[in-house]
Amino acid sequence: MSEQLYLMAHFELNTPDEFAPTFAEHAKASRAKPGCLFFYLIRDRDNSAKFATMECWEDYSYFEQHVADDEHTTFHAKIKQVWKGEPNVMECDLVMGME
């Protein structure tokens, strides 16, 4: 059995209000992809330029398909132009869920 992949990524954007709809579209598209168990997009209440994604994939192969497809490639090219810096990405292990 393959191990699920949990990821958290923190982004700070130069034009957050302009880019937020594009980011939301990417989150919706990601949730519809095979192997995506969840994909959350959250925004900092105190600093609207800061976003984070929390996502889970059935296994690493589904995540690799996600980042290799045309939708993600197009999104990545757009978001890279508005990053304040490289995002902080963390692969995670689930310690406790919503029991």
Could you read off the pLDDT of 38-55 as tens digits, one per residue? 999 999 999 999 999 999
Length of the chain: 99
Model confidence band, residue 99 (pLDDT cutoffs 50, 70, 90): low
Distance CA(7)–CA(97), nearest Å, equals: 14
Per-residue model confidence as pLDDT tens digits over 53-93: 999 999 999 999 999 999 999 999 999 999 999 999 999 98
Distance CA(79)–CA(71), nearest Å, equals: 12
Q: What SS3 state is found at 76?
A: helix
Other C-beta atoms closer than 10 Å to the C-beta of 48 total 12
Domains in the chain, CATH or no CATH each: 15-84 (3.30.70.100)
Note the pLDDT of residue 87. 93
